[in-house]
Structure 1
């Protein structure tokens, strides 16, 4: 006897952003949160810039056009923070 298992990627349905975290609501009922500090661009952004976002694809991620930032649901699930770029000294 074999059992068919449908594997689906998590999809974002909504987000909430506070001064300290990003919470993603997924189509399968999960809710995941990551510290806002994981994105230096979002940490440096104004509250108005943080609230101007678009859910991209079919819910694979979030894009903030004002600050050119993208965060994937996969990155949130696997704990992959965005690192601030290192400045090279001359």
Structure 2
């Protein structure tokens, strides 16, 4: 069973989707050009589907699935961790 959205909040550079399991996903607006280009008021006018599986902006004609966000966030987190490991390996090799 996957987590479902219960709320969403926004700042200038990202949005956070609060999940029913108590966790939250913070997502860069850069991942989504339409919400990024929207006004703060348009971003806040998000509707969470009855099932909690998706976010929809009527004004923007934009839909984002929670499972897609979770998948993308997991991939992004893994990529960031791999970059950290790669930087650490380069630093150690440079010290030799």
Tell me the TM-score normalized by structure 2: 0.71
Superposition RMSD on alpha carbons, in Å?
1.2
> Aligned to 1:67, which of 60, 71, 87?
60
Q: Any idea what SS the aligned residue of 1:62 has?
A: strand
Q: Any idea what SS the aligned residue of 1:79 has?
A: helix
* Runs of 4+ displaced beyond 3 Å: none
Tell me the TM-score normalized by structure 1: 0.75
Inter-partner Cα distance in structure 1 for 2:31 and 2:20:
23
Structure showing the higher helix proportion among its residues: 2
Q: Please list every run of 5 or more consecutive structure 1 residues that lacks an aligned counterpart in the other structure.
A: 1-7, 81-90
Instruction: From the CA coordinates, give the structure whose radius of gyration is larger.
Output: 2
> Aligned to 1:76, which of 56, 69, 73?
69
Q: Which residue of 1 aligns with 2:45?
A: 52
Identify which of structures 1 and 2 has the higher relative contact order when contacts are C-alpha pairs closer than 8 Å and 6+ apart. 1
Inter-partner Cα distance in structure 1 for 2:65 and 2:38:
18
